[in-house]
Amino acid sequence: MSFKEKTVIVTGATSGMGKDIAQALHEKGAQVVAGGRDQIRGAELQNQGIVFVPGDIKIPQANQALVEKAMTTYGRLDALVIAAGQLGIGRLHELSLEDWEDTLATNLSAVFYLLKYAIPHLKEGGQVVIIGSVAALHAFPDHPAYTASKAALPGLVKQIALDYGPAIRINLVSPAQVLTPLLQDSVKAFENPETILEETAASLPMKRLGLPRDITNMVLYLLGEEASWITGSNFVVDGGFLST
């Protein structure tokens, strides 16, 4: 699978799944414009030949800057991978207003911002993949802001698929427990944070936690020509978690 000369914006690219996706696309020939807040990790991406644009995607202008960088650097925009995420852990009545608003801004509003600025520039046949979560389908202890923001994404994806097809394909990938810094942070909401990941892995039909590359492989497929009749769908990649 080659993405030679394709220009792809990837958000959340300095960590976890976003980083792995950005690197895999670059390895396969894509012209990657990566967004993230960590400028040190962003510099590491630049050293690999990936264009890095620092910024917080919950700010509209940060999303606009990504699109402008893609257009001024490469003169085209072929795809988006929206992978940035935030947890917002806390029992609902104890959750601060700031945490609630920041989580929804990162996980939902930022999706709107990037789509708003990017859609007018996406070439005919453009693709969008959004990284959601099984939290849209399954509740977890003390994750109200996270589950609410992720639960909105399947509906938004269907709406965009209807309004912009066939020129643009858009799909959602919803992982379960993937070994990333975000997952490590999420264990704080459980009564047994020291053992929950080991216990979860043992309970899954696949008997292991996910790896970023498990999600990257699905993203690459959805961005490729083999998926040319797929849009408006939600692909759960969970090691069988929802079967338990």
What tokens does 52 get?
């890095």
At 88, the pLDDT band (50, 70, 90 cuts) reads: confident
pLDDT at position 123: 86
Residue 1 lies in a domain: no
pLDDT for 104-133, tens place per residue? 999 999 999 999 999 999 988 999 999 999
Domain residues for 238?
A: 7-243
Residue 55 lies in a domain: yes
pLDDT above 90 covers a percentage of the chain that reads 87
The rounded distance, in Å, linking the Cα atoms of 87 and 134 is: 13
Residue 32 lies in a domain: yes
pLDDT for 5-29, tens place per residue? 999 999 999 999 999 999 999 999 9
163 pLDDT higher than 80: yes
Q: What is the CATH number of the domain that holds 111?
A: 3.40.50.720
CA neighbours closer than 13 Å in the CB half-sphere of residue 114: 33
- Among the listed ranges 50-59, 82-91, 109-118, 129-138, which one has the minimum average pLDDT value? 82-91
pLDDT at position 49: 96
Rg (CA), the chain: 17
Residue 91's contacts (CB-CB under 8 Å, 6 or more residues apart) are 142, 144
182 pLDDT higher than 90: no
Question: Which has the higher per-residue pLDDT, 63 or 123?
Answer: 63
pLDDT at position 176: 95
pTM as predicted: 0.95
The catalytic site residues sit at 146
Neighbours of 166 (CB within 10 A): 11
Number of domains in the chain: 1
Q: For residue 222, how far is the Cα from the chain centroid?
A: 13
Residue 14 lies in a domain: yes
